[in-house]
Amino acid sequence: MAGDINGDGFNDLLISVPFADPGGPGDSRQGETYLVFGGASNLAVLDVADGSSDGRINLSNLNGTTGLVLEGIDVGDLSGRAVSSAGDVNGDGFDDLLIGAEWASPGVPARSTAGESYLVFGGMLNLSGLDSEDGTIDGHLELARLDGTYGFILDGGAAYDFSGVSISSAGDVNGDGFDDLLIGAYLASPGSPIRVSAGRTYLLFGGASHLTPWDAADGNSDGRIELSRVNGIHGFVFNGIDATDYSGRSVSSAGDLNGDGFDDLLIGAYRADPGAPQRSAAGESYVLFGGPISLLTLDSSDGASDGQIELSRIDGTNGFVLEGIGGGDQTGRAVSRAGDVDGDGFGDLLVSAFAARPGSPPRYGAGETYLFFGGNFTGGAETQVGGAGNQTLTAAQGAAAVDILIGGNGNDSLVSDGGVDVLIGGEGDDSLTLVDVNFSGTRRLDGGLGTDTLVLLGSGLHLDLTAIADNRIREIEIIDLTGSGDNTLTLDLREVLNFSDHSNTLLVRRNAGDTVNIGAGWTAQGNEVIGPDSFAVFTQGAAVVKVQNLNVAPTPQDDDLTTNENTSISGNLITDDNGQGVDTDPNGDTQLVVSQVNGQAANVGTEITLASGALLTVNANGSYTYAPNGQFENLNVGQQTTDSFTYIIKDPGNLESTAATVTITITGENDAPVATDNVATTSKNDAVGGNVLTDGTPDSDVDNAANSLMVSEVNGQAGNVGTQITLASGALLTVNANGT
């Protein structure tokens, strides 16, 4: 894997073809290295470039947009025999490349097979510039044109050293914020008298302040760095112990094996003979702890601070030696960092013994690979290490001292007390809390596995990620600014893409007074509700930033409802457009609820009687029922009156709105008049008269005056009105429309 060379948020691939002939038959075995840009869309384009979408990619179709070809320099160099990501050596936010050509012969006169290594800076601006140096922008980059601007050529020290046989990013060994480089020269012969093919490994510190002076040390700032000029300032050389140990045949960063905040080193010497009596070619591997103090102390342990470190002086405080088991096992032929395999917050190692014979009877040539777990090998009172459960580790050394907090396997909380503390989360969803944002020292934060949160505890803090080396803060997916208020976060596209190895999304929590500056080039994608909070979403390529919206109270709309004196109505106060729009929340929250009705929370979800006598029920979800309850029967037909009540809503953050007023317009209807029974008396021979509408208890009508009533039926028949009829008794009856 090459890392993210072009800065699009996807890791890229390095494929070496050391026997390639980039210029035709006359350039035999110069070697080529293919850089294939990652991302599903790019790979799909490459797949169809040959006319067939079959999952087979022809590397000859790399064109500068889909990837690049890096061409070796001289015949027989075999460039690309070793390839590696270099990390971010120049600190521009883009991963860089490292290519080895151990058969190259640098110098004038040429130092036969001293070897060369090529550091190529990442970023499309840099790569396109290097591509154009030959006058043609075609995706083919000539390594010979590295001049210190686009990268450097690293020349082996002596003939037959075979430097570049193994190359690797070293991580940040000296803690200056720039990634460093490891270059193995396994046939180098250090010492006086010389130890033939004991091997050497070169550590080159990253950053212009180291690479540029080293380039100029030979009097010619031409982009060629002579490894022989190592001096302990810009890097170190690690000398193998015994002749033919072949130390440096494999090199790798070890990650932070001991958890002190500095990356450590791993060097293999597969022909070493450990033990007493010696186990011939059992092999050894050397772990060297990072940090400028550790390396300088180790350098001076032989009495000369000259940048030459003897691997024989590893003593357990500055590193340790891993000895092969059986003679001929060739342990250390390949070595590598393993990441944090067991999730305890410490880096782990892989060491191979490709000729080991496991089993009984032995399986010859089956080989073995050893996984070594990192741990608190060197820590004292300053180091706290968590375990399997969820724990809180709080720094206790004071801001002037270094605290090292390593979380372990749980969902841990690590709390700094200021200064240059080291916080490593390990496995789980951890929170790493800072009380200041001074990264001028060697402070390192690493969330580790899981979804981890960087918390600012305080006020007035300005965390400017664009001014902090990317490797100082790693594996963070959430930043919490809330603290005590008025904190500021500044970031850009590169910070989002480089913040985490397994996510291109950064979520930022904040509250009133906190400021987030995300830089240019982002496209707003609306709001997203996560839990109780709303976030504004911004995208740029593969990067996503979600910034918490400052919680503004929701906005209810007054409602205008209508009914008649006899009809109940229902609906939803929040979601219905009742004349003036639906209720909304400026933060995009959709989980709004009614929290008060007529100023009382207890009225929510309960039937209440309004002052008018009407009945009302409003539920938390906004649904309501309003019943006139017979209180408006006195309205004439078409006559109107109003009733009203108020309600308040709140958002998921419990922030309440102002009150909205609901006005109900009630219209009168034509209610039926009320006829009352009448009693009349007479003798058997006398007729009797009167008025059925007005005699006794008069008939009535709530909608009309009493004198407007008329008789419409007699004994169920409209035709009987105004006509003399014979009752069942035989008596004669006449009832007129006016009631007489």
CB 74 within 8 A of CB 30: yes
DSSP of 511-545: -TT-EEE--SS-EEEEEEEETTEEEEEEEETTEEE
Model confidence band, residue 704 (pLDDT cutoffs 50, 70, 90): low
What is the SS3 assignment for 40-105?
HHHHHHHHHCCCCCCCCCCHHHCCCCCEEEEECCCCCCCCCCEEEEEECCCCCCCCEEEEEECCCC
Model confidence band, residue 317 (pLDDT cutoffs 50, 70, 90): very high
Could you tell me what percent of the chain has a pLDDT over 90? 80
64/604 Cα distance (integer angstroms): 65
- With 0-12 / 13-18 / 19 or more C-beta atoms within 10 angstroms meaning exposed / middle / buried, residue 730 is exposed
Q: What is the model's pLDDT at position 591?
A: 86
145/148 Cα distance (integer angstroms): 9
Percent of the chain as helix, strand, coil, to the nearest 5: 10, 35, 55
Average pLDDT over residues 268-280: 95
Model confidence band, residue 551 (pLDDT cutoffs 50, 70, 90): confident
Q: What is the model's pLDDT at position 26?
A: 65
Within 10 A of 220 (CB to CB), how many other CB atoms are there?
A: 10
Could you tell me what percent of the chain has a pLDDT over 70? 99
Which tens digit of pLDDT belongs to each residue from 82-124? 999 999 999 999 999 999 999 999 998 999 999 999 999 999 9
Q: With a cut of 80, say whether residue 381 has pLDDT above it.
A: no
Residue 350 has which token pair? 């892989």
Which tens digit of pLDDT belongs to each residue from 139-197? 999 999 999 999 999 999 999 999 999 999 999 999 999 999 999 999 999 998 999 99
Average pLDDT over residues 610-637: 95
Comma-separated ranges of CATH 2.60.40 domains in the chain: 559-667
Model confidence band, residue 637 (pLDDT cutoffs 50, 70, 90): confident
CA distances from 727 to 1, 720, 732, 737 (A): 111, 11, 6, 18
Which tens digit of pLDDT belongs to each residue from 207-235? 999 999 999 998 899 999 999 999 999 99
pTM of the model: 0.81
Q: What is the model's pLDDT at position 514?
A: 94
DSSP of 598-663: TTBGGGBTS-EE-TTS-EEEE-TTSEEEEE-TTTTTTPPTT-EEEEEEEEEEE-TT--B-PPEEEE
Q: What are phi and psi of 45, to 5 degrees?
A: -60, -45
| E strands present in 359-484 | 368-372, 383-385, 392-394, 404-406, 413-415, 422-424, 431-434, 444-446, 453-456, 462-464, 473-474, 478-480
Average pLDDT over residues 666-688: 89
Q: Smallest Cα–Cα separation from 182: which of 87, 292, 92, 270? A: 87
Q: Give the list of residues 6+ apart from residue 264 with CB closer than 8 angstroms, or none.
A: 171, 173, 253, 254, 255, 256, 257, 258, 287, 288, 289, 290, 319, 347
Residue 488 has which token pair? 């500021």
Residue 530 has which token pair? 């996560």
Comma-separated ranges of CATH 2.130.10.130 domains in the chain: 162-204+232-378
Average pLDDT over residues 63-71: 96
Average pLDDT over residues 648-661: 92
Q: With a cut of 90, say whether residue 198 has pLDDT above it.
A: yes
Q: What is the model's pLDDT at position 705?
A: 64
Q: Smallest Cα–Cα separation from 163: which of 231, 121, 111? A: 111
Q: With a cut of 80, say whether residue 315 has pLDDT above it.
A: yes
Q: For the chain, what is the mean pLDDT?
A: 93
Q: With a cut of 70, say whether residue 646 has pLDDT above it.
A: yes
Q: What is the model's pLDDT at position 626?
A: 98
Q: Which fold has domain 162-204+232-378?
A: Methylamine Dehydrogenase; Chain H (2.130.10)
Q: What is the model's pLDDT at position 91?
A: 93
Model confidence band, residue 707 (pLDDT cutoffs 50, 70, 90): low
| 3-class secondary structure, 237 | strand
701/708 Cα distance (integer angstroms): 9
Provide the H-helix boundaries in 171-273: 208-216
> CATH says 559-667 is which class?
mainly beta
Q: What is the model's pLDDT at position 579?
A: 82
Which tens digit of pLDDT belongs to each residue from 597-615? 999 999 999 999 999 999 9
Q: What is the model's pLDDT at position 27?
A: 61
480/507 Cα distance (integer angstroms): 8
Within 10 A of 178 (CB to CB), how many other CB atoms are there?
A: 23
Average pLDDT over residues 440-465: 92
Average pLDDT over residues 469-490: 94
More confident residue, 579 or 95: 95
Q: With a cut of 70, say whether residue 554 has pLDDT above it.
A: yes
CB 551 within 8 A of CB 19: no
252/349 Cα distance (integer angstroms): 10
Kind of pairing between the strands at 264-269 and 284-288: antiparallel
Preceding peptide of 213 cis, ω within 30°? no
